[in-house]
Structure 1
Amino acid sequence: MTSHETTTPPGRPATAARTTSRDVARAAGVSQAAVSLVLGDKWRGRVSPAKAEAVRTAARDLGYRPNLAARSLRMGRTRTALLVVPALTTEFFARVYTGAARAAADHGFGVVLYPSPDGIGPARDPFDSAAATLDGVIASSMAAEALTALRDAGLPLVMLDSDPGDDRATATVNLDIADGVRQLAAHLTALGHRRITHLAADVDSWTFALRARAVTEALAGVPGTLLRREPSALAVDAGLHAAHAALTAPGPRPTALLCDDDIIAAGACKAVRRLGLRIPEDISVTGFDDLALAVAVEPELTTVRLPAEEFGEAGMRALMAVLDGGDAAAPALPVELITRGSTAPPAARP
């Protein structure tokens, strides 16, 4: 029996034996050696990408589970990765986990999820007793303060949505957040909006600092644009209060609210209606992320769709490349502007 085959549990008849690597090889049209290379993540340069994908697909379809204990002993690894996220209170990080876990399963890895107990902010001591049982870590920049202990643990670290120059990271994987902001700004200005308030997430992280810079830069080149900024926590009520402050501040009222995420935007929509205004006739509102919430509000939100599951997969693949001594560099994942009913040209001035 190869190290990739699973044994029949005690007391189970031999006729009920689980799928073996031979079954996977037959289904994928490759040799057992190729199955071993692919599932051991040693296939690069020895098996074609198409055949590697065929092996992974066959293994998933057949429910094949390799003998991880034997492989771990041979490779000196625990085959476990830690995913550190700030919260699971929104679906974005749940989808990141789904993608990471799927990619991990293709490599015979397990994923330990560590969200912040406080929702938004750093997790507490995730490495306190875990370093000896982990091969590596994937972490969001929003939970970056949880990573101080990595310097002592010596674990490889892949940072998501993080400054590529962060010296704590072994590798970084990013979404093209700046391009998403530019797409939103271009959409609003093309509609004719010139008085725009940025409802900016009041979170100290690289990704939200990047959004603020991108908004400023994108609108700086549009003549006659008045950009204001109102901070908001990542909550519906906070978005409501921030939007109310923006819409009732002295001076000309903004015609568009550009929000750092869909949750803030949902609160902004509530504020607009409570002031007796209409969306999008009086005020246009945009979000960011394209959560399920974006189509739960009325009118539905114009927003930027982030490929969260693909993001998680890319992070896990980068960690696997690091562990194998390969190149973990990857281009930023593209994002997509989704236009819906919450944006329209501004009302004509009286």
Structure 2
Amino acid sequence: MTRPTSRDVATAAGVSQATVSLVLGDKWRGRVSARTADHVRETATALGYRPNLAARNLRLGSTRTALLVVPALTNEFFARVYTGAARVAAEHGFGVVLYPSPEGTGPARDPFASARAALDGVIASSMAADALDAIGGDDLPLVMLDSDPTAHGPAAHVNLDMTDAIRQTAHHLLAHGHRHYLHLASAVDSWTFHLRAQALADLLDDAPTTLRTVRAPLTVDAARTAMEAALADPQARPTAVVCDDDILAAGACKAARRLGLRIPEDLSVTGIDDLALATAVEPELTTVRLPAERVGEQGMKALLTVLDGAPWTAPDLPVELVVRGSTGPAPAR
């Protein structure tokens, strides 16, 4: 039988993992009500929970090492997240070990196996919390970045204001008279991409527009292939393509050129991330700038806060639309 974890206690008690850590670590006074503390202790007893002493020693700062799990090392965004996390970690005498999930969004294999005691906590970017069960172990605090804030289990969440990213993009295109849209969506099944799709559908539903969705893996070639098929019928072509990230947008631009379409005269294209790629394409890409380093910084600060036995709360990080040459007025239909 699997030994219950602090995450299990938090779920059963209907509280956060940070609250469980405070109560079971006897640091709850002044932070948690006596009634809640009693409820957490009773729940832990009922479940047969026993604290992981190695993990408890870690939270006292014996190793000062955090694991950062990302979907891929080839994406510039996650490199920036690592830079931000490592900067804050160094200021507090911590180190950050970077680990890519072998399957993109999970499940991730445990990179340390029996050597899990080498970690103080885990920070995971753009992944599902249950994909990290093998890494989290019994009691390692988990901080999720760009992930579902309603998910039970993680001790803290750090998110970008992705709804506002889509809002800024849609308002920009609507102001240019665009009424026929195509959403080039990521084929990755993750919360952040589902949120973008829902936000776009909700925003355009309030305007006299049409919206079609095409999905593609996160590569330029896959996006180009998907877009060539989507743009093949001149009678059904959109005037604007909203892409889930800059990599997909680069593929959309390649497809448009192969079909003899001019950007932005015939087709406007937008992305999200503001990677170096955004200014390498011609015309340069209109995209939403995401503060990736700030995400990493906040993720590490959240982990340090949880390790100190305190709850973490922070608003979503703001984003900014950067208008460049890939968008313009809608062409006449």
Secondary structure in 2 matching 1:99 = helix
Other-structure match for 1:340:
324
Secondary structure in 2 matching 1:239 = helix
Other-structure match for 1:258:
242
Distance, in Å, in 1 between the alignment partners of 2:59 and 2:165 is 45
Aligned-residue offset at 1:116 = 2.5
Aligned-residue offset at 1:212 = 0.6
Secondary structure in 2 matching 1:231 = strand
**Counterpart contact for 2:122–2:143, Cα < 8 Å:** yes
**Counterpart contact for 1:96–1:308, Cα < 8 Å:** yes
Aligned-residue offset at 1:130 = 3.7
Other-structure match for 1:161:
146
Distance, in Å, in 2 between the alignment partners of 1:226 and 1:145 is 36
Distance, in Å, in 2 between the alignment partners of 1:92 and 1:151 is 23
Rate the CA distance shift 1:127–1:73 in 2: closer, same or farther, 3 A: closer
Rate the CA distance shift 1:151–1:298 in 2: closer, same or farther, 3 A: closer
Distance, in Å, in 1 between the alignment partners of 2:241 and 2:91 is 42
Other-structure match for 2:184:
199
Aligned-residue offset at 1:346 = 1.3
Which residue of the other structure, out of 92, 100, 104, is the alignment partner of 1:107? 92
Other-structure match for 1:134:
119
Rate the CA distance shift 1:112–1:189 in 2: closer, same or farther, 3 A: same
**Counterpart contact for 2:105–2:190, Cα < 8 Å:** no
Other-structure match for 1:231:
215
Distance, in Å, in 2 between the alignment partners of 1:299 and 1:253 is 20
Distance, in Å, in 1 between the alignment partners of 2:178 and 2:227 is 17
Which residue of the other structure, out of 175, 186, 210, is the alignment partner of 2:160? 175
Distance, in Å, in 2 between the alignment partners of 1:348 and 1:80 is 58
Q: Which amino acid aligns with 2:108?
A: A
Secondary structure in 1 matching 2:89 = helix
Unmatched tracts of structure 2, length 5 or more: 1-56
Distance, in Å, in 2 between the alignment partners of 1:145 and 1:83 is 16
Secondary structure in 2 matching 1:287 = strand
Secondary structure in 1 matching 2:87 = helix
What are the within-5 Å matches in structure 2 for residues 8-87 of structure 1? 75-87=60-72
Other-structure match for 1:244:
228
Other-structure match for 2:282:
298
Which residue of the other structure, out of 245, 252, 270, is the alignment partner of 1:268? 252
Q: Which amino acid aligns with 1:286?
A: T
Aligned-residue offset at 1:277 = 0.8
Other-structure match for 1:34:
none
Aligned-residue offset at 1:124 = 2.1
Rate the CA distance shift 1:226–1:76 in 2: closer, same or farther, 3 A: closer
Q: TM-score, normalised by structure 1?
A: 0.75
Distance, in Å, in 2 between the alignment partners of 1:144 and 1:189 is 36
**Counterpart contact for 1:246–1:254, Cα < 8 Å:** no
Deviations 1:80-113 (A, max 9, x none): 0000001011110000000000000011000111
Aligned-residue offset at 1:125 = 2.2
Give the number of the structure whose alpha-carbon radius of gyration is greater: 1
Rate the CA distance shift 1:303–1:76 in 2: closer, same or farther, 3 A: closer
Distance, in Å, in 2 between the alignment partners of 1:254 and 1:347 is 10
State percent identity of aligned pairs: 69
Secondary structure in 2 matching 1:78 = coil
Unmatched tracts of structure 1, length 5 or more: 1-71
Which residue of the other structure, out of 312, 315, 331, is the alignment partner of 1:328? 312
Which residue of the other structure, out of 74, 90, 102, is the alignment partner of 1:89? 74
Other-structure match for 2:269:
285
Distance, in Å, in 1 between the alignment partners of 2:198 and 2:113 is 36
Rate the CA distance shift 1:76–1:253 in 2: closer, same or farther, 3 A: closer
